[in-house]
Structure 1
Amino acid sequence: CFHHRRTECDIRIQLPQVSKEHCKIEVNENKEAILTNLSTVNPTQLNGDCFQQPVPLKHGDVLTIIDRSFRFEYPLQSTPRKKHSRSPKNETLQVI
């Protein structure tokens, strides 16, 4: 996922201060989302702080580009849904 001004990016921010390639988010082999800053002029911020090296993102982190903020949502585990059995003899809940 790229954030920048180019038309082929995933998220486009139409501000002149945004670099053509501003930052990227990649998912590694451990299913961790990694944020990399690509702009030296107006660095991307994570939770209000600038960073130099790629950093792992956590669910709920906020990344800011110029004056635009994005909350990262990536729960590692989905909550199991509960379903009532349709059998009148069985009143238990099943986790699917």
Structure 2
Amino acid sequence: MSNDPWDDWETAADAGLIDCKKAKPTTASANQLLWEKANAYATPVIIQSTTHTEYKPELKILKRPQDAKTRNDVVVEKPIKALADREKEYMEARRKIFEKFENKK
């Protein structure tokens, strides 16, 4: 080891060249400073401006034309099929489905 006290801070502190408390703060004091810094709260400043224009929506009343038919006037009539006709259509659709299935095999 050299005799120069400036080689490390412990030797310098023992020689009285530096203040030990300033050279290396203790963990407790460092934690205290950290908490004080974290808990320092500055109140935010709220700026209110009265120069903004408020939005006013445009009011539109929508109406149907007078000559438009009402729902009750327009009646969609579906033709009523007989049971035999519905069975015939069902059998035709079934035949087409199974025909496609048979062709894939």
Between 1 and 2, higher relative CO (CA 8 Å, sep ≥ 6) is seen in: 1
Q: Which of these two proteins has the greater Rg computed from alpha carbons?
A: 2
TM-score scaled to structure 1, two decimals?
0.22
- Select the structure that is richer in strand: 1
TM-score scaled to structure 2, two decimals?
0.21
- Select the structure that is richer in helix: 2
